[in-house]
A = this chain, B = another copy of it.
Amino acid sequence: MPEASTAKGRATRARIVEGAAEVLREQGVAFTTLDDIRDRTRTSKSQLFHYFPGGKDELLLAVAEFEAGRVLEDQQPHLDCLDSWESWYRWRDAVVERYELQNDQCPLGSLFLQVGRSEPGARAIVAELMRQWQERIADGIRTLRARELIPASVDVDRSAAALLAGVQGGVSIMMSTGSSAHLKAALDTGIEQLRSAKAVAERS
């Protein structure tokens, strides 16, 4: 993978990835051709193959990486300070809003399915995103525990895993139904479970 060595080249490469991401979100991987991407990014076939010698697969992989980065970036500010119940609800709102905006397109999900089997790289990208995301949530839960908002008995990693699963499921259900009800339900019950953990612990 020959990295572009001039400023112009790097700009073109970036333009391709971002433009491709747009088109892919709009049309879905299955219905997007290199020509669509070429049109959108005002480039030519040779440029596409110049920057991505591995062809479409390599380009899709780059887009997947790009999109994966954005997922966390968008939540960064909220994920960074999950230290009070209010902050957890702010995060909740941010997640819901983010996915409501890009109504029924989960760029990563579809990208993964397209490249998935052939490229182990795609799996790695998604797996790594999940790992980081979950770690951030776990950090937030640990903060709560440090502040004694929840008891020490809470299984941090399992709670984080469950919460993440709820978000993923909420999003994927939203894609077929168009409604964010499940996403909200998952987030709300997940947070409430944490909040109620103290009560449960104290009673026993």
Tell me, yes or no, whether A44 is within 8 Å of chain B by CB: no
Residues of B within 8 A of A161 (CB): 181-182, 185-186
Report whether over half of chain A's contact residues are helix, strand or loop; otherwise say mixed. Answer: helix
Least CB distance, A54 to chain B, in whole angstroms: 17
Copies of this chain, whole number: 2
Given contacts A169-B166, A172-B168, contact A200 B190 (CB under 8 A): no
User: Which one of B158, B170, B176 contacts A126 once the chains associate, using CB atoms below 8 Å?
Assistant: B176
User: Which one of B29, B159, B186, B200 contacts A162 once the chains associate, using CB atoms below 8 Å?
Assistant: B186
Query: Is the pair B189, A200 in contact by a Cβ cutoff of 8 Å?
Result: no
What 3 A-B pairs come out closest when comparing CB atoms? A169-B169, A168-B169, A165-B169
Query: Is the pair B113, A177 in contact by a Cβ cutoff of 8 Å?
Result: no
Q: Cα distance A131–B67 when bound, in Å? A: 30
Q: Cα distance A182–B134 when bound, in Å? A: 10
Given contacts A113-B113, A130-B177, contact A182 B162 (CB under 8 A): yes
**Scoring A residues 147 to 187 as 1 if CB is less than 8 Å from chain B, else 0, what string do you get?**
00000000000110110111111111101111001110110
